[in-house]
């Protein structure tokens, strides 16, 4: 597997590259409006916003957990709307820990996209490096994402128990 991290200097060198799509994945489980509000106030230039509840999850039902996977139709529509296709390099960030950005990284991998990077250190690293930020909504440049979900990146309870019990 190749390195899945990109540093802020490498992203800065490609900030105007039309083949790069930057996605802000900041979110807070305790305040579901915080991430989008923070995105509107300040984000990496050109970044689109991905909301955990609206874009990266499906509806909660009596048999799902808190953030079930989104439907293929919904997810592919979202990716197309923000300009992601198989030819684009996608850079994802959130706050430094990256838990929400890694969800989108995983979903993109599961749909067959391979040129995906997590911004090492997240938005805080970008700010600490002194690079510019912008506010407001970045205009979308739609594209056509094509892909099918593959469960090769999934693991079930039986597999987890087997790994845990394997000496």
Residues 6+ apart with CB under 8 A from 20: 11, 14, 88, 89, 90, 91
- The CB density around residue 140, as the number of other CB atoms within 10 Å, is 11
Tell me the C-alpha to C-alpha distance, in Å, between residue 89 and each of 3, 17, 52, 103: 13, 10, 21, 17
Structure confidence at residue 83 (pLDDT): 97
Answer yes or no: are the C-beta atoms of 119 and 3 closer than 8 Å: no
Structure confidence at residue 131 (pLDDT): 98
Structure confidence at residue 2 (pLDDT): 59
pLDDT surpasses 90 at 74: yes
pLDDT tens digit string along 94-130? 997 789 999 999 999 999 999 999 999 999 999 999 9
Mean pLDDT of 125-146: 96
Pairing of strands 5-6, 89-93: unpaired
For residues 129 and 163, what is the distance between their CA atoms, to the nearest angstrom?
41
For residues 109 and 114, what is the distance between their CA atoms, to the nearest angstrom?
6
Question: Which of the 8 DSSP states describes residue 43?
Answer: B
Question: Which of the 8 DSSP states describes residue 23?
Answer: E
For residues 96 and 98, what is the distance between their CA atoms, to the nearest angstrom?
6
Task: Decide which of 135 and 154 is more confident.
Answer: 135
Task: Decide which of 15 and 155 is more confident.
Answer: 15
The position carrying tokens 């979308």 is 140
Give the pLDDT band (50/70/90) at residue 1. very low
Q: How far is CA 134 from the centre of its chain?
A: 19
pTM for this entry = 0.91
> Of 20-29, 111-120, 154-163, which gets the smallest average pLDDT?
154-163
């Amino acid at each position: 597997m190749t390195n899945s991290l990109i540093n802020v200097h490498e992203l800065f060198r490609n900030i105007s590259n039309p083949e790069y799509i930057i996605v802000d994945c900041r979110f807070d489980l305790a305040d579901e409006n915080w991430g989008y509000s923070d995105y509107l106030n300040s984000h990496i230039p050109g970044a689109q916003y991905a909301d955990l509840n609206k874009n990266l999850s499906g509806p909660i039902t009596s048999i799902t957990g808190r953030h079930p996977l989104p439907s293929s139709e919904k997810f592919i529509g979202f990716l197309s709307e923000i300009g992601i296709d198989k030819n684009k390099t996608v850079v994802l960030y959130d706050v430094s820990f990256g838990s929400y950005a890694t969800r989108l990284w995983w979903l993109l991998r599961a749909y067959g996209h391979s040129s995906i990077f997590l911004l090492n250190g997240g938005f805080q690293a970008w700010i600490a490096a002194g690079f510019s930020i912008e506010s407001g909504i970045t205009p979308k440049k739609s594209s056509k994402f094509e892909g099918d979900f593959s469960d090769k990146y999934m693991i079930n309870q039986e597999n987890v128990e087997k790994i845990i019990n394997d000496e």
